[in-house]
Amino acid sequence: MKITLINFFIILSLISFTHASVVDFCVADYTAPNGPAGYSCKKPSKVTVDDFVYHGLSISGNTSNIINAAVSPAFDAQFPGVNGLGISIARLDLAVDGVIPLHTHPGASEILVVVQGTICAGFVASDNTVYLKTLKKGDIMVFPQGLLHFQVNGGGSTALAFVSFSSANPGLQILDFALFKSDFPTPLIVQTTFIDAAVVKKLKGVLGGSG
C-alpha cells in the first residue's frame, strides 16, 4: 500500500509528538559537551529538585562598567532545568545612564517586564522602521527574534527589568562589540559603515578592538 506524502508527514508528526510526550524534561548534563541542540540529558536517577531552581537572579549585577549596566542570565549554561524546554530568563540592571547597546538574539524572541524605574526600549524592523517606547514599572515589551534592539535607563534612578526568551540559549551579538571590539579591519569598517576612520579608531581604543 502506498503512503502519500501528506500521510507520511502526519505519521512522522505523531511519532515525534509521542516521543516528546514521553520525555518530561532534559536537565543539562554539564559533563558532556554543549551542541547546537543544547546539552545532553542528565540521567534521571541523578536529577534533583535543585536542577529546577535557580537563585542567581536575586542578586543585583555589577553595573560598574562602560555601559553602566549588567545582564545576569539564567540560560541552559547556568540553569540546567531549562535545557530543552525552549525558555530562559535574565535579570537586567541599569544604573543611571545605563544602556544595553544595539544587539540581537539570533535564536529567540524576547519579552521584557520593567520591575523598577524607567526604561527606554525599542527595536528596528527589517524594513528599518523603528519601534520605540518609554516603559515604566509593570510595562511589558516584546522584541521579535533576530531584530536589533536596545534598552536605555530613561530616568534618574536605577532601573530593573527581567527578560524572558523563547529559547534556553537565545544567543547574543552586540553590534558595537562586533565592529569595535574585534579585529575587523578599520578600512573595511569605514567602507561598509561610512563612519570616519578617526571615529572608528577611537571606538576601537575604547572597546579594545584592533585592526
Q: How many CA atoms lie within 13 A of 184 on its CB side?
A: 20
Burial class (CB in 10 A: 0-12, 13-18, 19+), 11: exposed
Ligand-binding annotation for 19, yes or no, is: no
What helix, strand, coil percent values describe the chain, rounded to 5?
A: 25, 30, 45
Ligand-binding annotation for 103, yes or no, is: yes
Cα–Cα dist 144/124, whole Å:
10
**149 contacts 102 by C-beta, under 8 angstroms:** yes
Residues paired with 132 in a beta bridge? 122
**93 contacts 160 by C-beta, under 8 angstroms:** yes
Cα–Cα dist 174/209, whole Å:
14
Q: Which helix (H) or strand (E) holds 13?
A: helix 5-22
Ligand-binding annotation for 149, yes or no, is: yes
Ligand-binding annotation for 55, yes or no, is: no
**38 contacts 84 by C-beta, under 8 angstroms:** yes
- Binding-site residues, in ranges, read 103, 105, 110, 149
Annotated binding site for oxalate: 105, 110
Binding residues for Mn(2+): 103, 105, 110, 149
